[in-house]
Amino acid sequence: MSIQISVDGAVATATISRPEAMNAINMATRAALREAWASLAADDAVRAIVVTGAGERAFCAGVDLKEVQPTRGPARDAFGADGPPSVVAGMDIDKPIIAAVNGVALGGGFELALASDIRIASETARFGLTEVKIGSMPGAGGTQRLVRTIGRSDAMTMLLTGRIVDAAEALRTGIVSSLHAPGDLLDAARALADEIAGCAPLSVAATKRTVRAGDGLPLDAALQLERLAFGLIRDSEDRKEGREAFRAGRKPKFRGV
């Protein structure tokens, strides 16, 4: 299988496993990724997800350009039921996704990381949306998510030149939130996922959904959305448990209700 799933406690790790191809995404891997997101979203025991690539050379080198793509025509690709799925299809789930970028993240691989909620990286990681160099352009959210992540000037520099940046530059611009030695990256990602998994599941889901839904809204509308979500969470059993545990000085036992 091109996607390997492992679960430890409440944390799942999804590993893109095509190291011979720099973990590039072919059609089979696209389908496997969608299946993985759907399966993990439906598993109540999983509360946080880490996505990474096999080995230390590549997180994901993007779409596998060596694979012959079927010719269908632009209309069928855009509107047909059997059009090719995006490399990030299925990632819009309520469970937090942490990208542990362990090597190069290029093209669709970088877009996969951008679609994650949190990105941390190896000190040897490199990032780029290089499509303009081969007569293409990002097509899985890169033009939109990168600008929203690091701001217009830095994003446009990367997008219009196809420039690849190193891990230090990725940290400076905010592409990633932390850097780690290659051997420590997965432990750091899983520790972060464990920390998230220890929080109230409904609160985490509501927070993630509110942040994402509010991205494109004016501030006053986003604040109303937040207030609505807060009102829904306020009477949950987990919120009551959290307050009781705080008063008793004990660790809360959240059940996702």
- Other C-beta atoms closer than 10 Å to the C-beta of 123 total 14
Distance CA 101, CA 79 (A): 33
What is the chain's Cα-based Rg?
19
Task: Retrieve residue 74's tokens.
Answer: 């632009």
Residue in 111, 169, 195, 237 annotated catalytic: 111
Q: Which residues pair with 205 in a beta bridge?
A: none
Q: Which residues pair with 165 in a beta bridge?
A: 127
Task: Retrieve residue 197's tokens.
Answer: 């998994």
Closest-CA residue to 189 (of 103, 249, 100, 250):
100
56 part of the active site: no
Q: Give 187-235 as a 3 state SS string.
A: HHHHHHHHHHHCCCHHHHHHHHHHHHHHCCCCHHHHHHHHHHHHHHHHC
Task: Retrieve residue 212's tokens.
Answer: 């994402």
Residue in 131, 237, 241, 244 annotated catalytic: 131
- Other C-beta atoms closer than 10 Å to the C-beta of 76 total 13
111 part of the active site: yes
Let me know: does 128 contact 106? Beta carbons within 8 Å: yes
Give residue 216's identity as a one-letter amino acid code. Answer: G
The catalytic residues are: 111, 131
